[in-house]
């Protein structure tokens, strides 16, 4: 059944009342570029404007900057047809070296129409800020840290790790690095750093290409530019602990595998008055149904050296581990040092022996 003429008029009027027209405005620009400026110069002001192109007056409901580093004000009066309104903002660079790209959300008219403005620039950091954020100085480049620990990673998995660098110089630099580490891929984003720009050194570790289990470390040597002198080179150490991945093992494989126990778990030296190296030993008991493979025995403690380790321990048997403790490397007082034993025990792939005592 077709609608009557009166019905059509009713719905047309309803549409006008229920869905008022959006404000007709035209921004002169929606982006404000500060350029590069020094942090020491303090807060930086800017503004953007729009013109009311519509037949009716409109207004700004409010503005909302994307972070606390930016403050904003705006024209609060009604904006008549043909008039111009202004959104002003202030960016605080304190403690924020490097490029920035922020937004200011502007809500206009009774429809609360959203408009997004962008403000951007590059802050040339003050020396005090750079020393806190990038303490390692290498010519025109500063580095966040010279070491990164990736924690535990299951064998076969990969992990990204990141260290930031900063160009404190007045010229663009292209950092270069060397390092023959097959499991570790290194990439700088972006490849070139303009003055005041931050770059990210990405380290991608593929454990499938690493034969060693347990803690691993890789050395990467970096310079600010290919033409930089050799004294401007620094060594970055990236590390992780690779542990066995037993998630894909079947229940039968787990039940029929080896089981590792440390005997004894605590090797007590008692009170030690001499500074001569001390020998120690403990055993790994295989209490499982199958052979137990020992992949690595290590200690991250200063002064602990492992001298002898078993490779495979038969079911019900024990394998002996021997080592030496350089007591002279320890401070006076009580000590507790760890020796880690990595095996193919699906339930407890890492067991710990403890070296304890008191150095007089």
Chain centre to alpha carbon of residue 135: 17
Chain centre to alpha carbon of residue 18: 50
Q: What is the DSSP letter of 67?
A: S
Q: What is the DSSP letter of 155?
A: T
Q: Is 325 in contact with 306 (CB distance < 8 Å)? A: no
Q: Is 144 in contact with 162 (CB distance < 8 Å)? A: no
Q: Is 339 helix (H, G, I), strand (E, B) or coil?
A: strand
pLDDT in tens, 287-333: 999 999 999 999 989 899 999 999 999 999 999 999 999 999 999 99
* pLDDT value at residue 4: 52
* pLDDT value at residue 9: 46
Nearest CA to 76 among 62, 66, 57, 90? Answer: 62
* pLDDT value at residue 17: 44
Distance CA 109, CA 24 (A): 10
Distance CA 57, CA 48 (A): 19
* pLDDT value at residue 15: 45
Q: Is 109 in contact with 23 (CB distance < 8 Å)? A: yes
* pLDDT value at residue 164: 95
**CA-based radius of gyration for the chain:** 33
Backbone angles phi, psi at 291, to 5 degrees: -65, 150
Distance CA 122, CA 198 (A): 10
Distance CA 130, CA 162 (A): 18
Q: What is the DSSP letter of 255?
A: H
* pLDDT value at residue 317: 97
Distance CA 49, CA 108 (A): 13
Task: Please tell me the pTM assigned to this model.
Answer: 0.69
Q: Is 144 in contact with 133 (CB distance < 8 Å)? A: yes
Between CA 312 and CA 315, with CA 314 as vertex, the angle to 5 degrees is 140
Q: How many CB atoms lie within 10 A of CB 153?
A: 19
With the C-alpha atoms ordered 220, 221, 227, 228, is the resulting torsion angle positive or negative? positive
Nearest CA to 328 among 299, 360, 356? Answer: 360
Q: Compute mean pLDDT per 10 residues along the chain, 360 residues long, and list them.
A: 48 46 85 92 95 94 93 95 96 92 95 95 90 92 94 91 93 92 93 93 94 91 91 94 84 92 96 90 96 93 94 96 94 94 91 94
Q: Which two tokens stand for residue 277?
A: 């190296």
Backbone angles phi, psi at 32, to 5 degrees: -120, 125
* pLDDT value at residue 63: 96
* pLDDT value at residue 300: 87
């Amino acid at each position: 059944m077709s609608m009557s003429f009166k019905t059509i008029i009713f719905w047309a009027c309803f549409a006008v009342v229920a869905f008022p027209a959006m404000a007709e405005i035209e921004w002169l620009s929606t982006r404000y570029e500060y350029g590069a400026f020094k942090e020491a110069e303090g807060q930086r002001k800017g503004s953007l404007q729009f013109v009311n192109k519509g037949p009716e007056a409109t207004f700004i409901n409010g503005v909302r900057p994307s972070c606390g580093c930016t403050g904003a004000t705006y024209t609060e009066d009604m904006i008549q047809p043909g008039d111009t309104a202004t959104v002003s903002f202030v960016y605080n660079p304190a403690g924020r070296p490097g490029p920035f790209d922020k937004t200011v959300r502007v809500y206009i008219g009774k429809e609360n129409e959203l408009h997004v403005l962008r403000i951007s620039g590059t802050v040339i950091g003050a020396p005090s800020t750079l020393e806190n954020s990038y303490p390692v100085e290498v010519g025109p480049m500063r580095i966040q840290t010279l070491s990164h620990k990736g924690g535990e990673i299951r064998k076969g998995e990969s992990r990204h790790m990141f260290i930031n660098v900063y160009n404190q110089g007045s010229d663009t630099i292209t950092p270069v690095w060397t390092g023959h580490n097959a499991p570790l891929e290194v990439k700088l984003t972006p490849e070139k750093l303009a003055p005041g720009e931050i770059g990210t050194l990405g380290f991608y570790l593929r454990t499938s290409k690493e034969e060693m289990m347990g803690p691993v470390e890789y050395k990467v040597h970096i310079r600010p530019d290919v033409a930089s002198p050799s004294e401007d080179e620094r060594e970055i150490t990236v590390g992780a602990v690779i542990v066995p991945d037993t998630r894909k093992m079947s229940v039968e494989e787990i039940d029929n595998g080896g089981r590792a126990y440390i005997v004894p778990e605590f090797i007590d030296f008692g009170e030690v008055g001499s500074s001569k190296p001390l020998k120690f030993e403990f055993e790994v008991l295989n209490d499982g149904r199958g052979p137990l493979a020992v992949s690595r025995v290590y200690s991250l403690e200063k002064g602990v050296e492992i001298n002898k380790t078993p490779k495979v321990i038969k079911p019900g048997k024990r394998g002996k581990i021997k080592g030496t403790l350089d007591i002279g490397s320890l401070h006076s007082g009580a000590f507790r040092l760890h020796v880690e034993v990595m095996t193919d025990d699906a339930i407890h792939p890492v067991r710990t022996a403890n070296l304890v005592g008191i150095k007089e």
